[in-house]
Structure 1
Amino acid sequence: MEAPTPKKSAIENAEPPDRISDLPDALLHHIFSFLDTRYAVQSSVLSSRFDFLWGSMLHLRFFSNTPNTTSLEKLIHKVLSLRDKYHIKSLHIHSDNDDDVPHVYYWILAAIRRNVREIDICMATRAAIHLPQFLFTCDSLTVLKLGLGTMGEDFPPVLFPDWVDLPNVKLLQFTRVSIDECFAFQLIRSCPSLETLIIVDSELSFEEEFEIVSRKLVHLGVQCRFPIYQRDVSEFKVRLVTPNLKVFRWEDYMVREFVWSEPAKLDQVEFGLVMDEEGRMDLDCAKECKQMQARHMLKLLEAVSNVNSLTLYGCYHLVTFDPSSASEYLSLQYHNLKYLKLETWLSADCLLATLYMLKICPNVKTLSLHRLEDDCLEPNHRCWDEKLSPSQHLEKCREAGSSKLCISHHLKVVEIHGVRGCMIELMLLEILLKGAMVLEKVVICTSEEKSSDGDKGLADFHKKLRALPRASSTVTFVFKEE
């Protein structure tokens, strides 16, 4: 064999080029923006190229879920103290260490002095935090996210200063906090540019009325976790003055009445009942409370009847859709609705509710059903299959289907998630296949929790499904496993 030349040998033994170090600063900053800042600081040991690159980063992220440690506090102080010449676009600090709370004041002050635009601070604390005045009078701020409490504990209140002025804030998000009347009057009204308001896992602790006045608000999402059945809630109201609202998501115990001062032309609506910490839903609450919940739900349905996309979850037990008393529900009409998503247990009442929802949505094109797990219900409310179903319930469902209450002349796609191969599922599909004239696709997603017969039962279910009569000659079936 021919011996390698010195030049060829040198090429073969040369180290591969360091292409990462050759990247421009802007691209490296973008890569580091997705990582914990501690890793960006540690990159300085790789080569001289990274020695001070982290010092000019525009996006800082600090995360710690280890209690009784001071490493995060020291790291943040060091990084912020060495950035006097550089601005900060975003500061994210998430810590489960209660000892970090006293340092929040300094961190916010240091970020604001560097013209920060986005602040996202999440601290696990049980005590109320007095947020500094300069945070709520910052002209450069466009995004403010605060998470203060701990799941399973009473959430701390958000304490605002006497004067609030955030002219450029477009997004507000609060997680695990207690919201009172001052939140609306002192904060929301002081953000004239507000477009997105998100309240997650929080408590609305107000006496009678909670008012949201925001002319530019486009996206509103609220998720309340605290049950208040024990209070006198008959006068609780949520008043919305949001004429430009497009996306509305609300999840609570349906004990508040919604009042829309200026109806908005909504594109997307999601609302329903919240579950408790064990994933169960209180279906055995007092009769008066259940009637109040149903009344509030129907009033909300009326207010959003012009929506394009509607999602309902955990609402089916509130109203019994009975053909003999359906006139008040059928007066609702969703002529603009194209997408309908329902989370359901597929009991007899849920199936009837589904049929009536399709009746009042004559132009819907896509129906997506997501079957909830029976474990979240009390035993006397759980789903029934062909072995447990009373014959009168079966007849009730068949009557609803034969009366063509569910026909939609525009329905093209049906998705059912969590299928177990039960008779109630087959009955629903039979009704849909008979009534949907232009149906094109049926997607069946089977659940891990299958019927008692397992794969054999699902195979029999698929066979029966394909044999069902159908009004559309172009329908195809797609089977998936979830």
Structure 2
Amino acid sequence: MAVTPRSCKIPRTSNGGGDDEDDGDRLSSLPEHIIRHIFSFLDTINVVRASSVSRKWRYFSVSVPHLNLNIFTFWLLLLNKKDSMQVTNEKFKDFVNWVLMSQDWSVDIQNFSLYYWKIRDDNIIYRWMNVLARRNVQQLYLRLFSDTPLELPLCIINCESLVDLKICFDQYSVLKLPESPGFTRLKFLYLSMVEFMDSMLLGNFVSSCPVLENLTMDDCTFHDFKILDIAAPRLKNLIIDSLTSADEDLFNCEVIVACPSLVSFKLLGTPSGLSFPGTNGLQNVFIFFNHGPEHRTVEEGHHLMDSILRGICNIKVLKLSAAFLGFLLLAVAKPECSAAFYNLKSLTLLVSVDESDQSTIQFLNHSPNLEALSIIFTRLEDWGDNDVALSATRHTLVICGKSNHVTDSCKMPNDDISCMTYHLKKVELIDVACNKNELELVKFLLKNGHVLQKMSIRGKYLNYPTRLSQK
């Protein structure tokens, strides 16, 4: 008896509403709050187009609280893609105006994202922000493709509903900060490719945000700053990144972080000084110096490290670049130095292959309670023409007077290291090329890791990790 195979098609269902156009439309049958959640991930122009598909969606475009307006998505959907950027910009402005004016004003805007080509002397963006403030916007994300300055209007500064603000430029541009206090409910502030011209104005601006908890200054420049003072009573997470800045703004600048609630700190750049007055709860620190100690005098290097060590001595998670490690090794080499990281549990080091044994073991000696160690190996040939990264790698060869080649022999200490005897359980080695220094370090860790439970080795030329376990 032949058996007829069952159809693999999903059976059609009816929503019971009697509408032929919606019969079998599972998406329309979903609860309204789920459909709105799905629409929140779409560009607004696609939400408008989708509103014509179903009678149930007809009014979603005028009541959806998430607006994502992207000029490039708009341009891709235009029938005539031969329009100039200026023509496209005018059409896009008309579309944004229509969206903001046609919406139900009784619905607050939860999220507003704008990707916009801002033309010089184009002030329409300020009118849009005025509408957003009146609609109680909570999250505002501006991505502006322009090099013209942007001034934050008073309507946004005084907007009591604004919680999250992101401003990104596609090339370095000036952001005119307000001189008067505001942002009474702002908790998240993200600024990218912003040119800061006045250190005092920036410091006053940050300190005037009473509930600010997260501050990121990504790829920003600090023109002629001598002091960068960040003082915010409730700030918990701080990121300062000037690594790709061509002006080396932080090199002659002292960074002062006076945030009593700070938990996580990340710095990319090499300041002349770094201190944490009144910051006692710091737990997670990532410091990436792009210049080694050969770019400072001995006195400058010791001054820099003394202030840093006082601020990070009680942290639990630490990540360091090779250049910073060079400063640290000089500091702990002083007989009077008693630096120790008693609370440190997790450590990540970016090290030069030529100094992997010395730098790692030196740090382990100062971390008696360390439980997890990650080492990322760097090589001169990895950097190519990247002079910044190349300088960061070469410094370890200079401070110990060694040449630019892998040493023939690795001298490992005979004394027991406290953390390896009692606490170190997990080791991860990344970009291992299996040269002699690296293999000696692996042997040392396996031999002396009395409580080591797992070692993970990721080869530089392998697509999968190799794991060695010691029980």
**Which range, TM-score by smaller chain?**
0.7 to 0.9
Relative distance call for 1:326 and 1:80 in structure 2 (3 A) is same
User: Is the alpha carbon distance of 1:352 and 1:100 closer, same or farther for their aligned partners in structure 2, counting shifts above 3 Å?
Assistant: farther
Distance in 1 of aligned mates of 2:126 and 2:65: 20
Cα shift at 1:317: 6.3
Following superposition, the deviation at residue 398 of structure 1 comes to 1.4
RMSD: 3.5
Q: Which residue in 2 is equivalent to 1:420?
A: 433
Residue ranges of structure 2 left out of the alignment (5+ in a row): 2-10, 15-21, 76-84, 384-388, 398-403
State the distance in 1 between where 2:303 and 2:101 align: 56
Q: Aligned pair in 2 of structure 1 residues 291, 46: CA closer, same or farther (>3 Å)?
A: farther
1:448 equivalenced with 2:464 (yes/no): no
Match of 2:25 in 1: 18
Q: Does 1:108 align with 2:139?
A: no
Q: 1:437 to 1:149 in 2, by over 3 A?
A: same
Q: Does the alignment pair 1:332 with 2:339?
A: yes
Counterpart CA distance in 2 for 1:323 and 1:131 is: 44
Question: Deviation at 1:354?
Answer: 1.3
Equivalent positions of 1:3-42 (< 5 A) are 17-42=24-49
- Cα distance change of structure 1 residues 145 and 273 upon mapping to structure 2, 3 Å threshold: same
Compute the TM-score of the two structures, normalised by the length of structure 2: 0.80
Structure 1 window deviating more from structure 2 (14-23 vs 306-315): it is 14-23
- Find the aligned partners of 2:137 and 2:12 in 1 and give their Cα distance: 49
SS of corresponding position for 2:27 = coil
Change (3 A) 1:298 1:72: farther
| 1:278 match | none
Match of 2:315 among 307, 314, 326: 307
**C-alpha displacement of 1:207:** 3.5
Per the alignment, residue 5 of structure 2 pairs with none
Amino acid at match of 2:357: L
- State the partner residue of 1:369: 375
Which residue is 1:170 aligned to? 187
Query: Is this contact kept in 2: 1:101–1:125, CA < 8 A?
Result: no
The 2-side partners of 1:87 and 1:12 are apart by: 37
Contiguous gaps of at least 5 residues in structure 1 = 2-10, 275-281, 467-473, 477-482
- Once residues 79 and 321 of structure 1 are traced to their aligned partners in structure 2, the CA distance between those partners, rounded to angstroms, is 59
Report the number of matched residues. Answer: 425
DSSP 3-state at the match of 2:37: helix
Q: How far apart are the structure 2 equivalents of 1:113 and 1:227?
A: 40
> Are the equivalent residues in 1 in contact too, given 2:255–2:271 (CA < 8 A)?
no
1:348-403 residue CA offsets vs partner (Å, 9 max, x unmatched): 2x43111111111111111011223543254994999xx95343xx3xx414x334
Match in the other structure for 1:134: 155
1:433 is aligned to: 446
Matching residue within 255, 260, 274 for 2:271: 255
Q: Contact 1:294 / 1:318 at 8 angstroms: preserved in 2?
A: no
Native 8 Å contact 1:364 1:411 kept in 2: yes
For 1:13 and 1:118, how far apart are their aligned partners in 2? Answer: 38
Task: Identify if the C-alpha distance between structure 1 residues 324 and 315 changes in structure 2 by more than 3 Å, giving closer, same or farther.
Answer: closer
1:402 aligns with 2:394: no
2:300 aligns with one of 275, 278, 292 = 292
Q: Which residue is equivalent to 2:8?
A: none
**Aligned pair 1:242/2:284, yes or no?**
no
- Please tell me whether the aligned partners of residues 305 and 328 of structure 2 are also in contact (alpha carbons under 8 angstroms): no
Residue in 1 that maps onto 2:238:
220
Equivalent pair of 2:178/2:205 in contact (CA under 8 Å): no
Distance 2:12 2:234 in 1: 63
The offset of 1:404, in angstroms, is: 4.1
- Shift in Å, 1:122: 1.4
SS of the residue corresponding to residue 148 of structure 1 reads strand
State the alpha-carbon separation in 2 of the partners of residues 232 and 425 from structure 1.
Answer: 33
Q: Which residues of 2 match residues 314-353 of structure 1 at below 5 A?
A: 314-316=322-324, 318-319=326-327, 321=329, 325=333, 327=335, 331-348=338-355, 350-353=356-359
Structure 2: how far apart are the matches of 1:320 and 1:114? Answer: 52
Task: Give a deviation string over 1:237-284, Cα, whole Å, max 9, x none.
Answer: 2222211111111111x223123220321121111124xxxxxxx669
Alignment of structure 1 residues 79-158 onto 2, 5 Å: 79-83=99-103, 84-96=105-117, 98=119, 102-150=123-171, 155-158=172-175
Cα distance in 1, alignment partners of residues 331 and 339 from structure 2: 15
Report if the CA contact (8 A) 2:272-2:304 is conserved: yes
2:470 alignment partner in structure 1: 475
* Letter of the 1:30 counterpart: H
Q: Matched residues in 2 for 1:432 and 1:219: separation?
A: 34
Contact kept? 1:334, 1:360, Cα under 8 Å? yes
Q: 1:139 to 1:420 in 2, by over 3 A?
A: same
Provide the identity percentage.
22
Match of 1:6 in 2: none
Superposed displacement of residue 204, structure 1: 2.1
Amino acid at match of 2:154: Q
